[in-house]
């Protein structure tokens, strides 16, 4: 098919379709198109059934009809007469497209989990769940392993960003590693082989994931978001972590409204069973994640003055402990600087990182300087957005009759800035400090970053569901040199993270950054801008002016 691009903007026709969050379009029979709509958001999550809403638009009738809710996958046959539809994760059906949208979009008829017996497409194209639970596939693992082995080498040949494969002779390497296939006895062995052979390309972001391997049932243990110490033959809460009760990702079981367990109290019983120091507290909470459980807690080891509280243990404490670390750093910077400096943590350069930056940076633009902490940054996108905001210059002030003058641009912090880096920050976490240094915003302090600045696009999925990446994009600078990959972003001021100091509650990298910023403020204090005298246009003209 050839598209005539000349004048195409004048051949665009608006269809009478309401503006919604449509995410996909499929072509059906003549004059028919199908659209998938992303579910509208609501304060408690997504409204309506899970999945997308399928709409059918008739170009001839100029009419849009809702066809079906809860769609997670939709494919139209080549002739446009049938469609393969998935609702949820296990129910599939084949339906005649002529029936879609006919009655406002009825849901799929219920069927057994996994699409078991009882259903199927009826004569004439009626709907019904397919019996996918009865489907079987014969697998010859060794034949699959051999095919996937050669598939990966073809992928590196066709997708790797450098056509010279960093100097590696791909055909020779493929031949060299092939004999190891004879010793592979498990998918884990195969993944190990993929790792060893792909390492010869000498590049980061070379990931090996998934595959057809046993997946034992996992019993999620419950966690209370606390540290414990043993005292008087009991478990005592040494620290209780705070969360955000409105945020499901930061739910703290012990500080939920109505619970209010405090550090220093004893954990006396779990689910009605007495708990002593000889018991394993984590065993007592086994399989309790995200389920209500009754705890007995109190101020005394003998149980006097105790009370019962109902909590919902979390499946992970990682987010709570990370929040505690971030907030602890913020308070420490505020204390060490006497309130002069902001602290902003950037955990990655994806959605979470931008959310964290926006939350901490714009709330502290009144500060005189800023500590930007990107240690352990997990990467994502190239964070030019962040460095642009960090480098915004002051242009002028806006004076109001009442209140303080407002700077332009708003949402900027004009004082000195420094960025803390470490060897556990990579990818987008390499680029962020690299751009920070390139734009001369301030120094990097800590240790050189990981050094993995390439795009890790996966190769086509392997036949057993696994995948291997073959980076297909890399960064080069304006002087014609490849940047950062396998090198990292250096620290302008190197500071080791001393574990002994950490155990004493110290953070030498954070402390050095605060020290540098305070010295910078001392040497170059922020200028004080003066409000000019208000104009007076009623003054008499000067003598002899002729006016």
DSSP string, 254-280: GGSTTT---TT-EEEEETTEE--TTS-
Within its chain, how far is the Cα of 76 from the centroid?
32
Which segments in the chain show pLDDT lower than 50?
42-48, 104-124
Q: What is the largest CA-CA distance in the chain?
A: 107
pLDDT number for residue 43 = 43
Q: Record the pTM.
A: 0.80
pLDDT number for residue 216 = 84
pLDDT number for residue 196 = 96
> Of 134, 150, 166, which closes a domain?
134
Residue 529 maps to a domain? no
How big is the CA angle at 510 (ends 508 and 512), to the nearest 5 degrees? 65
pLDDT digits (tens, 9 = 90+) for 321-335: 999 999 999 999 999
- Domain identity same for 109 and 152: no
- Domain identity same for 28 and 102: yes
pLDDT number for residue 321 = 96
- Domain identity same for 432 and 371: yes
Scored b (16 or more CB within 10 A) or e, 324-341 reads: bebeebbebbbebbeebb
Q: Is the dihedral of CA 363, 365, 366, 372 positive or negative?
A: positive
- Domain identity same for 307 and 368: no
182 lies in which domain range?
141-209
Question: What's the structural domain count of the chain?
Answer: 4
pLDDT number for residue 343 = 98
Structure token digits, residue 404: 């303080």
* Residue for token pair 């006396």: 268
- Domain identity same for 101 and 179: no
> Of 134, 158, 190, which closes a domain?
134
pLDDT number for residue 110 = 45
Mind giving me the DSSP string for 492-522? SEE----HHHHHTT--HHHHHHHHHHHHHHH
- Domain identity same for 200 and 292: no
Residue 542 maps to a domain? no
- Domain identity same for 41 and 183: no
Q: On the CB side of 125, how many CA atoms lie within 13 Å of its CA?
A: 13
Residue 159 maps to a domain? yes
Structure token digits, residue 308: 């019962």
pLDDT number for residue 214 = 82
- Domain identity same for 258 and 353: no
pLDDT number for residue 124 = 44
Residue 385 maps to a domain? yes
- Domain identity same for 170 and 310: no
> CB pairs under 8 A, 24+ apart, for 343-347?
343/370, 343/371, 343/373, 344/370, 344/371, 344/372, 344/373, 345/373, 345/374, 346/372, 346/373, 346/374, 346/377, 346/383, 346/386, 346/432, 347/322, 347/376, 347/377, 347/378
* Residue for token pair 């046993």: 214
pLDDT number for residue 123 = 41
Nearest to 206, CA basis, from 455, 470, 424: 470
Contacts for 542 with CB less than 8 Å, ≥ 6 apart = none
Nearest to 450, CA basis, from 379, 392, 352, 547: 379
Beta-bridge partner residues of 406:
398
Q: Please state, in angstroms and rounded to a whole number, the distance separating the CA atoms of residues 55 and 441.
A: 50
> Of 134, 150, 168, which closes a domain?
134
* E-assigned strand segments in 433-546: 444-446, 454-455, 467-468, 473-474, 493-494
Structure token digits, residue 58: 């008739």
Residue 106 maps to a domain? yes
């Amino acid at each position: 098919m050839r598209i005539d691009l000349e004048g195409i903007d004048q051949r665009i026709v608006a269809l009478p379709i309401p503006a919604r969050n449509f995410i996909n379009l499929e072509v059906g029979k003549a004059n028919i198109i199908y659209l998938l709509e992303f579910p509208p958001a609501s304060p408690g999550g997504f409204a309506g059934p899970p999945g997308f809403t399928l709409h059918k638009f008739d170009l001839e009738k100029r009419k849009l009809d809702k066809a079906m809710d809860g769609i997670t996958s939709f494919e139209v046959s080549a002739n446009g007469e049938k469609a393969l539809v998935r609702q949820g994760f296990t129910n599939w059906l084949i339906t005649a497209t002529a029936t879609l949208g006919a009655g406002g979009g009825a849901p799929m008829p219920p069927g057994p989990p996994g699409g078991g017996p009882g259903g199927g497409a009826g004569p004439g194209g009626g709907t019904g769940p397919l019996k996918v639970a009865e489907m079987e596939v014969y697998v010859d693992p060794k034949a699959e392993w051999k095919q996937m082995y050669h598939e990966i080498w073809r992928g590196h040949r066709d997708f790797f960003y450098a056509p010279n494969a960093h100097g590696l002779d791909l055909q020779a390497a493929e031949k060299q590693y092939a004999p190891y296939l004879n010793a592979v006895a498990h998918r884990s062995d195969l993944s190990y082989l993929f790792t060893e052979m792909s390492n010869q390309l000498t590049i980061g972001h070379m990931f090996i994931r998934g595959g057809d391997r046993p997946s034992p049932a996992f019993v999620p243990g419950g966690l209370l978001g606390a540290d414990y110490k043993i005292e008087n033959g009991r478990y005592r809460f040494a620290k209780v972590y705070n969360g955000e009760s409105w945020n499901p990702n930061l739910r703290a079981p012990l500080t939920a409204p109505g619970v209010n367990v405090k550090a220093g109290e004893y954990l006396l019983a779990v689910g009605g069973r007495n708990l002593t120091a000889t018991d394993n507290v984590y065993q007592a909470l086994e399989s309790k994640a995200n389920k209500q459980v009754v705890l007995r807690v109190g101020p005394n080891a003998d149980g006097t003055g105790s009370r019962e509280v109902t909590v919902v243990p979390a499946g992970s404490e990682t987010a709570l402990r990370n929040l505690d670390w971030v907030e602890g750093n913020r308070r420490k910077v505020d204390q060490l600087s006497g309130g002069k400096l902001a602290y902003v943590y950037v955990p990655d350069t994806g959605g979470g990182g931008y959310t964290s930056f926006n939350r901490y940076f714009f709330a502290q633009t009144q500060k005189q300087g800023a500590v930007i902490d990107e240690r352990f940054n997990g990467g994502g996108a190239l964070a030019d957005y962040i460095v642009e905001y960090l480098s915004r210059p002051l242009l002028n002030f806006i004076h109001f009759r009442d209140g303080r003058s407002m700077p332009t641009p708003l949402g900027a912090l004009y004082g000195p800035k420094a960025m803390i880096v470490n060897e556990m920050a990579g990818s987008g976490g390499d680029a962020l400090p690299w751009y920070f240094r390139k734009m001369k915003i301030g120094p990097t302090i800590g240790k050189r970053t990981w050094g993995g600045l390439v795009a890790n696009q996966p190769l086509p999925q392997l036949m057993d569901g696994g995948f291997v990446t073959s980076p297909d994009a890399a960064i080069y600078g304006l002087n014609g040199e490849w940047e950062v990959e396998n090198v990292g972003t250096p620290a302008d001021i190197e500071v080791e993270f001393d574990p002994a100091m950490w155990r004493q509650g110290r953070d030498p990298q954070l402390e050095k950054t605060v020290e540098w910023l305070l010295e910078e403020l001392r040497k170059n204090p922020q200028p004080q801008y003066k409000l000019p005298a208000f104009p007076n246009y009623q003054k008499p003209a000067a003598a002899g002016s002729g006016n």
